[in-house]
Amino acid sequence: MRLEGLELRRIAMPLVAPFRTSFGTERERDVLLVRAVGADAEGWGECVAMGAPLYSSEHVDGAAEVIRRFLAPALAAAAAGGLAEGVDAWTAEAAFAPFKGHPMAKAAVETAVLDAVLRAAGMPLGGFLGAVRDRVPAGVSVGIMDSVPALLDAVAGYLDAGYLRIKLKIEPGWDVDPVRAVRERFGDAVLLQVDANTAYTLGDARQLARLDPFDLLLIEQPLAEDDVRGHAALARLIRTPICLDESIVSARAAADAIALGACSIVNIKPGRVGGYLEARRVHDVCAANGVAVWAGGMLETGLGRAANVTLAALPGFTLPGDTSASDRYYARDITPPFVLAGGHVAVPQGPGIGVSPVPDVLAEVTTATSWIPLK
C-alpha cells in the first residue's frame, strides 16, 4: 500500500454508566483514532490507551505524540526505502521495533495500515488472521459497584440480555462477599470469573483462596504485572485458575509465563501486545502449549470492537471474551452497533476490519484532528 498520510483524530465518547475498576473510574473515553490513507483505500486503527497512565504506562496524549514524533516518520522512511509495493503491517512492525515500549500507539498505526491493505485487497481481517467462526460467544465485564444489591441488579440485567459469561472486577475489600452474593443469587451454572487488575500481593494468598469454593472460571491478573514468579507461587496456593493480562506483553512473555507455571489461561489484548500480528503469535504460543485464551477489551468503540471480535474467532479462543454489544458501553457508537444475538456477536465479514465510522456521528464526537503526510 502506498500511503499518503495518517490522520490522528480525537473523539469524546461518554459511557452509559461509570465503569469502576481497582485503578479508577471512567465516565467518558477520550479516544485516539488513526486513519491510514492510501491511493486505493483507507484504514482505521483505535488506540486503547486511557486518559491517564493507570492501566499501563501509556496514555492517550503520549500515544499521539509518539505517533507524530517517531512512528509516522519511521513509517515514511520505510515507505521511501525502495519498496515499490509500499508498506504493509509487517513493514510497520519492523519500522517501529527500534522504539522501546508504546505498544498501544504502535498497535493503532499498525492496525490502520493493515486495515487499509486488506480493504484494497478485498480480504476480511478474519481471513488474514485465520478465523474459524462467524460469531463469537460474548461475555461482559461488570465494574465495582457501590453496593452488593446494585451489583446483583446489574448482573441480572446482563444475564437477561443473554450474556454467556460474567466477569466481576474486584479489589481488596470487594471480593469474597460480592462473588458469594452473585453465586447465591444466580447459581453455579453461570460462567463467572473475576479480574483484580493487579490489586493484590502474594501476601493476600489466603484471602484469594477464599474464592476457591465458588468454582470460578479464573482469577485475572491478581498480582503486579511484573510479578510473574509471584503468580507462579500463587498458582500453587489456590485452586482457582490464574489468567494473566497485564503481564502478557508479547508472545515471548506468554511463553515465559507458561513455562514458569504462572498461568493456565491468557487474556489477549492486541493493544497491550503491539497489534494483531503479535496477538496472533500469542494465540499460537498458547495453543501450542494447551493454554486457553480469550479476548479482552478496553471499552473500544465499534472500530476496535470489530477487530477484537474477529480475533476472538481464531481457534484457540475457547472462552467467552469481553466482546460485548456496543450498548454495554455507548448509547450511540461511531459505527453500526454490534448487537447481542443468542449470547453471541457476529464477526464482520467485509474487507479489512469490516466496519467504518458513520460520518455524521464521527463528526459530532470529534474534538480534534491532525494530518501527518507520509510522502
Contacts with 306 (C-beta within 8 Å, 6 or more apart), sequence order: 125, 335, 338, 348, 353, 354, 355
Note the maximum CA span of the chain.
65
Side chain identity at 285, as an amino acid letter?
V
pLDDT of residue 54: 87
Does position 23 have pLDDT exceeding 90, yes or no? no
User: How confident is the model over 43-48, as a mean pLDDT?
Assistant: 98
* Band of residue 83 on the pLDDT scale cut at 50, 70, 90: low
138 and 115 within one domain: no
363 and 220 within one domain: no
In a domain, 351, yes or no: no
Domain that holds residue 248: 127-346
In a domain, 326, yes or no: yes
296 and 195 within one domain: yes
Side chain identity at 241, as an amino acid letter?
P
97 and 168 within one domain: no
pLDDT of residue 152: 98
363 and 339 within one domain: no
CATH number of the domain where residue 64 is located? 3.30.390.10
Does position 148 have pLDDT exceeding 80, yes or no? yes
User: How confident is the model over 46-68, as a mean pLDDT?
Assistant: 95
pTM for the model stands at 0.94
140 and 100 within one domain: no
Does position 15 have pLDDT exceeding 70, yes or no? yes
User: How confident is the model over 64-86, as a mean pLDDT?
Assistant: 85
Residue ranges of E strands in the chain = 3-21, 24-38, 42-47, 135-137, 139-142, 165-169, 191-195, 219-220, 242-244, 265-268, 292-295, 344-346, 366-373
Question: What would the pLDDT profile of 107-139 be if each residue is shown by its tens digit?
Answer: 999 999 999 999 999 999 999 999 999 999 999
Does position 91 have pLDDT exceeding 70, yes or no? yes
Contacts with 126 (C-beta within 8 Å, 6 or more apart), sequence order: 310, 313, 347, 348, 349
DSSP 8-class letter at 134? S
Nearest to 319 by CA among 125, 160, 168, 167: 167
User: How confident is the model over 347-373, as a mean pLDDT?
Assistant: 97
**What is the percentage of the chain residues whose pLDDT exceeds 90?**
92
Task: Say which residue the cell 498501544 belongs to.
Answer: 104
341 and 228 within one domain: yes
Does position 26 have pLDDT exceeding 90, yes or no? no
363 and 307 within one domain: no
**What is the percentage of the chain residues whose pLDDT exceeds 70?**
99
Report the alpha-carbon distance of residue 78 to residue 99 in Å, rounded.
Answer: 14
User: How confident is the model over 247-269, as a mean pLDDT?
Assistant: 98
Annotated catalytic residues are 169, 269
67 and 172 within one domain: no
212 and 229 within one domain: yes
Does position 333 have pLDDT exceeding 80, yes or no? yes
Does position 157 have pLDDT exceeding 60, yes or no? yes
- What is the layout of strands, in order, in the sheet containing 42-47? 42-47, 24-38, 3-21, 366-373
pLDDT of residue 114: 98
218 and 199 within one domain: yes
pLDDT of residue 79: 80
Read off the C-alpha cell for 147.
453496593
Instruction: Give the CA radius of gyration of the chain.
Output: 20
CATH number of the domain where residue 279 is located? 3.20.20.120
Does position 22 have pLDDT exceeding 80, yes or no? no
pLDDT of residue 85: 65
* Band of residue 18 on the pLDDT scale cut at 50, 70, 90: confident
What does the mean pLDDT of the chain come to? Answer: 95
